[in-house]
Structure 1
Amino acid sequence: MYPAPPKVAVCLLLALCASGSRTAQAQTNAIPDHNWGTWHIATVILPAGPKHWGGYAEAQTRANGLLRQYFYTELKGGVSYDVAKNFTLMLAGGRYSTADYRDLSDGPLNVEKRLWQQLTFTHLAARLKMEHRYRVEQRWFNFRDDVVPAGSFRYRNRLRYRFNAFLPLNHPTVADKTAFLSVYDEVFFNPRGPFFERNRVYAGMGYQFDQHWTIQAGWVNQANYTAASYRQNIFTPQTTATKNNVVLSVMYRISRGNAAGPTPEHIPSQPD
């Protein structure tokens, strides 16, 4: 019989989730979307082998409603290098397509090509697994009919930071047949403005069947911020658009056949 999860760890997970939610909602001129959306994420991961190299590929689709009104897709992948046991570098890229769900036949409204560099650091506090992720993105946009919307740019940079925490429930580590809790808060910064572009907070549960398969289901609240403006003697305050989404994800981890010794513990982090 394994000991129950520490109360302090559970309280930390709940506090992180609650604080991120308040940050997303406690803004001026808020515009909440009362319809829940859906995110589907499918990921294949190649863990770092004896020479420290690994990688991943992912497909994602999003809907404006629950399992309906699909409008967005992502295809991405990258290569990683384990500098140390808990310290990983990554170079990755992807294609992101946004359409109008009411008329998908017209094609995407815009297509984004993205390249990013990433640093991930993980550490453990008893059973609690914590991950810090830092990302620098370069983003190129193509707009339908070559019409750039007001306030948009064909090229933008972005900085992201995510703190992710995991708590296994029925084992002291995330091993085979392990249920776990996961929460994260991620902030997005844009040098062009608005500087604080987005906040994303997630809470969910997952289950690792074996060294290959892991599933997760949860909730994510995404808040997008539009900078305040002053035009024609009219001041428009910062606008915050928020939306709740159901997240359903599946992850497959490829075995490294030449690995020796026991299977190392892998934190089931979503690469998204």
Structure 2
Amino acid sequence: MTKSLLIAASALVLVSANSPVALAQSPANPPQRWGSWLIGTFLLPGSPENKWGGFAEVQARTDAVFAKYFYNELKGGVSYDLDKNFTAMIAGGRYATSDYRALEDGPLNVEKRLWLQLVLSQYLDRLKIEHRYRIEQRWFDYRGDSTGRRNRIRYRLNAFLPLNSKTIKDKTVFLSVYDEIFLNPKGPVFERNRVYGGVGYQFNKHLLLQVGWVNQSNYNLPAIQQGQFIPQITSAKNNVVVNVIYRIAHRSATSPTEHLPSQQD
């Protein structure tokens, strides 16, 4: 009798282990290895004498830390300072995603993007706060497959804290943290969340360096496919961020102005 019970229990375990229910117990959101973002930015900020500005940026991302390159961005834009605290911008870029194991095959997807942006800056004594609002129009071209178009709305709250000075100027060490949400009008409405924390150093009025960490989480909508409920899945990845900014000053600028070392991404 005991032997029969043991055989029956063993069979039940084997059947359960191979059933869809058991397979569904595997992690829906497996952890991913750390990656890296390498960013180089040329920036022309506005000044009290000349309110026009702009930027150009190149970015590369890797699936592992400084290895397994798979993604790049090329972008630029023109800005206008409405006053010291408000800056409007129109910009665009090209974003290419490849398979790091087959780079010679070309990008899997090429996205072209155009956006309008408004930045509100607050200077609260030592603490500096930036609110960034962005509306994006995006066009996708999937290799050998299809094309698509999407809109997106983004909001970023960014805070800066200089450590050895009340303002961010030459030879200043500063902390920077931000959280940004990405909203898709067609769903999933809450498409992405990006959290960043890092430390920076402004060498002089031209050169800045920031090193930090960013966690980017992507979300999908729950769905029913072939009669089965597919729960919301979150894909999150941690990355090391290295950003070098070279700032160009207007020739007509006569007085030093504090500029927040914002990342353009």
Q: Normalising by structure 1, report the TM-score.
A: 0.86
Asked if 1:135 corresponds to 2:134, the answer is: yes
Q: Counterpart of 2:257? A: 264
3-state SS of 2:82 partner? strand
Q: Normalising by structure 2, report the TM-score.
A: 0.88
Alignment of 1:156-175 (within 5 A): 156-175=150-169
Kindly report structure 1 stretches of 4+ aligned residues shifted beyond 3 Å.
none
Q: Counterpart of 2:172? A: 178
CA–CA distance in structure 2, aligned partners of residues 255 and 89 of structure 1: 18
Counterpart of 1:42, as a letter, is: G
Cα offset, 1:125, TM superposition: 1.9
Q: Counterpart of 1:202? A: 196
* CA contact 1:44–1:58 (8 Å) conserved in 2: yes
Cα offset, 1:259, TM superposition: 1.0
Distance 1:30 1:268, change over 3 A: farther
Alignment of 1:60-139 (within 5 A): 60-139=59-138
Counterpart of 1:260, as a letter, is: T
Q: Counterpart of 1:251? A: 245
CA–CA distance in structure 1, aligned partners of residues 216 and 204 of structure 2: 31
**Greater relative contact order (CA < 8 Å, ≥ 6 in sequence):** 1
3-state SS of 1:31 partner? coil
Cα offset, 1:30, TM superposition: 5.5
Distance 1:189 1:30, change over 3 A: farther
Asked if 1:211 corresponds to 2:209, the answer is: no
Offset from partner CA, 1:182-229 (integer Å, 9 cap, x none): 000000000111100000000000000010000000000000001111
Counterpart of 1:120, as a letter, is: V
Counterpart of 2:260, as a letter, is: I
The structure having more radius of gyration, on CA atoms, is 2
Q: Counterpart of 1:189? A: 183
Query: RMSD value over aligned CA atoms?
Result: 1.1
Gaps of 5+ in 2: 1-26
Cα offset, 1:32, TM superposition: 4.3
CA–CA distance in structure 2, aligned partners of residues 251 and 245 of structure 1: 19
Q: Counterpart of 2:44? A: 46
* CA contact 1:122–1:130 (8 Å) conserved in 2: yes
Distance 1:32 1:90, change over 3 A: farther
Cα offset, 1:255, TM superposition: 1.6
Counterpart of 1:190, as a letter, is: N
Q: How many residues align?
A: 238
Counterpart of 2:189, as a letter, is: F
* CA contact 1:30–1:241 (8 Å) conserved in 2: no
3-state SS of 1:255 partner? coil
3-state SS of 2:217 partner? strand
Q: Counterpart of 1:10? A: none
Gaps of 5+ in 1: 1-28
CA–CA distance in structure 1, aligned partners of residues 30 and 127 of structure 2: 33
Aligned-pair identity (%): 59
CA–CA distance in structure 2, aligned partners of residues 257 and 242 of structure 1: 44
Q: Counterpart of 1:20? A: none
Q: Counterpart of 2:8? A: none
